[in-house]
Structure formats: C-alpha cells, structure tokens
A and B are shown apart, each in its own frame.
Chain A
Amino acid sequence: MEEGSSLAASCPGRSNGGGEGSTGIIDLRPPGSSPAVDLTDRVHLLPCSIKHDGPCPVSHYFKPKQTDVVVDDLCLKEACFRGRKLQGVTVSLPPGYRGYVLDKSSESGKRSEASEGGFNRWLSRAEFGNLTFWNHDSLPSPDDPLIRCFHWFSVSNALHKPVTQAELDSAMSVQGRND
C-alpha cells in the first residue's frame, strides 16, 4: 500500500527483521491504457492460511451477510468458511492510500534467479480501496492487528516527511533555550 502511481522500492538489510534484502521496482500503472481492475469490496483477509494459490469461485461460495450489529461504527458481517462461522468488518484504507495486487513480471524472474537478492520488477494487476477482515473466535475490534497496522501510516509520515527549514529553525531555537 503506497501513494503515487509508480515507485521504486528498496529493502536493504539494515533492519533487524530482514535478511540481506533485495532491490526492485514496483510499477503501479495499469498495463496499457486500460483502467485498473478495481477489487474494492472484494478483498478478504481470513484468519487462516489456505494452501492454495490460484483462481477460485469465491463469490459463489463465500457469501458475507450484513448483520444489525455495529462494531466501532462499522457494520458487522457474517460468513462461513469450511464449516466455521466468521465475523468481519470492511475497513476503508486511509485517504491517500490504495491497495495493490502485485505480480512479479516474468522478465525479471530469470534475472533475479541468476543473482540471488537481485533486481525484481513488480506489476500492479488490480487495486482496492478497502478490505474486509474476518475473525473466527472474536468480534472484530480496533485492537485487532490489522486496524492497528494503520497507525504505521502516521508514524511513517512523521519519520519520513522532509524537514523544512522553518521546522529546523524552531527546533534549534527550542534547543537553544534549553541550553
């Protein structure tokens, strides 16, 4: 999830969470002149891992139903998967952010195999403006990790926003006064 239409991403291994890292380009423009495929209202995050990767008749089998219950201003939905009842809410992505479904472009595949941790090229296949996340045991709440992930956006902004000369000056003057 990022702003803008195209960006270069680099994940060098300086964080304690990652390994050696890799460098790549993510192209968020839809291919050709066609409009982007919009998956808004069709992206679901389930509380399980399904060991299958490929197309699936989701809308024929997975049937979320609205309930009368409201959780933190969001309408609670119910659905079933593999005999289990799920409870979920649809959350919009914060303004200025969009979700993208990325696909590794084939041409970069060979190149990155040749040099491990090498150059990757990613293409956007679809976009979405919201997503529905589902819990199995508990009602969705603002304490769920997915909702709390959105906190990162403001922290990230504060960390990475360029510092203006005015801000520098005022910070210096505060420091000066403290000395």
Chain B
Amino acid sequence: MSSAPLPKWASKPCIMGIDEAGRGPVLGPMVYGCLYCSLSYQKTLTTLNFAEPIWVLPVKLLKFDVTKINLNEISHNSAIGLVKRVLDMGVLLTEVYVDTVGDAEKYRVKLSEKFPGVKFVVAKKADSLYPVVSGASIVAKVTRDRALRNWVLDETAENMQRNFGSGYPGDPETKAWLDRHKHMVFGFPTIVRFSWGTCKPYFKDFVEVVWESDKMDEDCPNNGRSKHQQKLSDLGFTGYKRKSEDIESSGKGRCKFFQARKLQLVSKF
C-alpha cells in the first residue's frame, strides 16, 4: 500500500478514525483499522457513500500471550503505529478520532505527546459518534472476518476444522469448536486466547501444567495487568501444590557450582 502514489487531497488537511475489532472473542486476531480522508470530505462521509477518496489501512495482531502485556497497552501501541504509518506515507493528518475502552483523557495525552502536530479526540463509543471512526470500525471488522475465514491453523492433528463461528463466547458454533478441539496436554490450538474467561470451564479436562515463571511472579504480583485480564495461573492451569522440586532440579544443598547450574544428584529412581 505504501508503494501506491498518494492522492492529491492527502497533502491537504486530513482526518482519520481508528477502531478495533476482536477484543471480546475467545479466538482469532485483534484487528486495528483506520480510515482517513480529507477534512473537506467529512460531510460526505456521513452519507456513507464509500467512494474513492477514502483510504484504509488495517493492521493485525495475530497471537496472544497476555500473561505479560496489558491489553490496553497493545491497543495504544497499535493506534500509535497506525498514526505513524499514515504520517510517514506523507498524509497531512490534522485530526485523529480514536475509540477507547479505557481512560480517554490519559490516552489522549499519550497520543498528543507522541504526535504534537495532530489534534486527537479520544472517546468511548467513538464509532457511533464520528463517521470517520464508524468507517474505521467497518474496516477492522471486515478484515478480522476475512482473516478468520482464511485462517490456517498451525496444528496438523487429524480432524482439525476451521468452523470457529464468530469467535464470540456466546456463539454456539464457537463453543462447539472449542469442545471438539481441546487436547488434554496442549489445551487448544494457538488461535485460542487461553486467558479469556470462556476457556475456563475447559481447564478441568486438561492435565496440570506448572510454569517456572509463575513461581517468580508471585513475588511481584501486579506487573501492570488490567483487572479484566486473568493470569493463566489464576485459572487452574497451575497447581495448588506448588513444590519447586516438582518443577525443576535446584542443586539445593550442594556447592555453588552445582546450585548455579541447577545440577542435582539423583540417587533414587
């Protein structure tokens, strides 16, 4: 897209909307869509006549490892990335409208500091307030639907199917798919977000897995995680019996050389 020549109107003041799709679903990518057009086109946009002078540029986030990164942080960084890309293409952005789930004012300050020349309007439900965000929302949703439809599963086990449904927790097709694709050792295929509440009922069917890093995490419990995200360890993925000797050898009681290398003498088999 960056190789295509910029339309003439892009060098006049432009507005842009940013919205996301796929925050709620238990599987699939989260997609950030944006839509920009010249300031003078704004009125025409309300008629939803999606004619030529609108450019769209979606960005995708494919995999989830939400044990470490806050979801709002992912969201902010994606929006920043989109604004940067559009500015780098040479579009004269003067106003950017952003939908948010979290604190709007903090988010607005963060964006304004990054891009001093751009006026940011951050609002909850911005997609229903500003046509340019509605457009971005459509871009994001269509891109996500297409990505899910063409998704190639990493897993190659037999009888792997792609009829995920919408990915929303309430969708019976999604539930049925989760049910058919669970595995006692591996859990779900990697398209699934394991830390989402929807997965919780299935954990009783999985064998227990105890992570070394969760043990360390307990010393510093809150590393910027939002309330809505759950630690995988809170979800019954790790055990109640948390004995370190279950997880790894420690070299306990031996000289430092062995301790540093976790080399333990095993005398009983």
Q: Specify which of A49, A52, A61 is in contact with B247 (CB 8 Å cutoff).
A: A49
User: Binary interface profile of B, 187-203, with partner A (CB < 8 Å = 1, else 0)?
Assistant: 11110111100000000
Q: Which of B33-41, B49-57, B108-116, B253-261 contacts A (4 or more CB under 8 A)?
A: B253-261
Residues of B in contact (CB 8 Å), total 52
How far apart are the CA atoms of A56 and B64 in the complex, in Å?
Answer: 24
- Known A-B contacts A82-B186, A82-B187; the reply to A47 vs B211 at CB < 8 A is yes
Chain A hits for B234, CB < 8 A: none
Closest to A62 in B: B186
Rounded to whole Å, the gap between the CB of A84 and the closest CB of chain B is: 6
In the complex, which of the residues A13, A21, A80 has the most CB atoms of chain B within 10 Å of its own CB atom? A80
Determine the residue in chain B with the shortest Cβ distance to A45. Answer: B248
Chain A residues within an 8 Å CB radius of B195:
83
Among listed B3-11, B85-93, B154-162, interface-contacting one: B154-162
Interface presence of B129 (CB below 8 A): no
User: Which has the most chain A C-beta neighbours within 10 Å: B213, B216, B247, B251?
Assistant: B213
Asked if B264 and A17 sit within 8 Å, CB to CB, the answer is yes
Main secondary structure of the interface of B (DSSP, over half): loop
Most buried by B among A48, A51, A149: A48
Within 8 A of B (CB), among A40-73: 47-52, 56-57, 59-63
CA distance A151 to B267 in the complex (A): 21
Note all chain B residues with C-beta closer than 8 A to A165. Answer: none
Is B265's CB under 8 angstroms from A52's CB? no
Q: Is B219 an interface residue (CB 8 A)?
A: no
Give the secondary structure class of A's interface: mixed
Interface string of B208-230 (1 = CB under 8 A from A): 11111100100000000000000
The reply to whether A16 and B237 form a contact with Cβ atoms under 8 Å apart is: no
Given A48-B211, A52-B184, A136-B211, verify A20-B261 contact (CB < 8 Å): no
> Given A47-B213, A83-B192 in contact, is the A63-B155 Cβ separation under 8 Å?
yes
8 extra interchain contacts, Cβ-Cβ under 8 A, other than A16-B254, A145-B261, A151-B261? Answer: A20-B268, A50-B185, A52-B184, A83-B65, A83-B192, A84-B65, A149-B262, A155-B257
Check if B207 is an interface residue, CB within 8 A of chain A.
Answer: yes
- Among residues of A, the one whose C-beta sits closest to the C-beta of B264 is A17
Report yes or no: A17 in contact with B251, Cβ–Cβ below 8 A. Answer: yes
Q: Contact check, B237 vs A61: say whether CB atoms are below 8 A apart.
A: no
Is A110 in the interface zone, CB < 8 Å from B? no
Q: Does B67 contact A (CB under 8 A)?
A: yes
Closest 7 CB pairs of A and B: A83-B194, A18-B267, A17-B265, A60-B157, A21-B267, A85-B65, A51-B208
- Which residues of A sit under 8 angstroms from B184, Cβ to Cβ? 52
CA distance A122 to B237 in the complex (A): 33
- Chain B residues with CB under 8 A of A20: 267-268
Cβ B261 vs Cβ A48 within 8 A: no
Compute how far the CA of A98 lies from the CA of B184 in the bound complex, rounded to whole angstroms: 32
* Interface bits B59-88 vs A (CB < 8 Å: 1, else 0): 000011111100000000000000000000
Interface centre among B63, B185, B188 (most CB of A within 10 A): B185
Instruction: Out of A18, A104, A155, name the residue touching B265 (CB < 8 Å).
Output: A18
